[in-house]
Amino acid sequence: MRRFLIAAAAALAFATTVEAATYRLGGIEVVQPWSRPAAAGTNGAGFFTVTNKGKAADTLKAVETSAARKVEMHKTSMANGVMSMQRLDAGLTLKPGESVTFAPGGYHLMLIGLAKATKAGDVIPATLVFASGARLKVEFPVGSGPSAMPGMDMDHMKH
Ligand SMILES: [Cu+2]
C-alpha cells in the first residue's frame, strides 16, 4: 500500500510538470498558457501568467495569432453586479519583478473572430510582442486550463 502511494505521488508530480508549460525570452517568463473551446467566428479567450524577471520595465503591447482576426487585451471587472470588459489600449506594463495572471474574471486575451472552432486538444499558436522588441512564441492548449472556474460566455459580455 505504501509503495503504491509513493508511485501515485510521483505520477501526480510528473503530470503537474508536464502541464505547466513555461516560455522564456530575456527577462520575460510566461507560464501555462491555455484557452477554451469556442465556435468559429466567435471570440475565444487566452489565459497565462506573465512575469518580468528582468531589470527594466517592459510592456506587453500586442499578441499576434493566425487563429483569430485580431487579439485584444481585456480586463473584466464587476461594478454594481454588472460585469464588463475594458480594453487595455496601452498594453500591460510590467515593472521588474511584477507578475500578472490572465484568468477568467480578470485579465484575458480576447481572440476576436476565430478563424475556426477550437476544441479540447487543439493548440493555438501565438506571439506575444513586447515594447522592448521581444517576441515570445507560445502555444495555448485548448481546454487544459485550471478550469475549476464556472464558464463565462464571452460573446454576451459588454465591451
Ligand atoms: Cu474580453
Ligand 1 centroid, distance to 83 Cα (angstroms): 11
As given in the structure block, the three cell numbers for residue 158 are 459588454
As given in the structure block, the three cell numbers for residue 92 are 500591460
User: Which sequence spans correspond to the domains of the chain?
Assistant: 21-143
Ligand 1 centroid, distance to 80 Cα (angstroms): 19
| Architecture in CATH of 21-143 | Sandwich (2.60)
Residue 17: pLDDT band (50, 70, 90) is: very low
52 or 156: whose pLDDT is higher? 52
11 or 54: whose pLDDT is higher? 54
Residue 78: pLDDT band (50, 70, 90) is: confident
> If DSSP codes are grouped into helix, strand and coil, which group holds residue 156?
helix
Question: What is the rounded CA–CA span in Å between residue 119 and residue 42?
Answer: 13
Ligand 1 centroid, distance to 97 Cα (angstroms): 26
Half-sphere exposure of residue 107: CA atoms within 13 angstroms, side-chain side: 16
pLDDT at residue 5, as a whole number: 55
Residue 144: pLDDT band (50, 70, 90) is: low
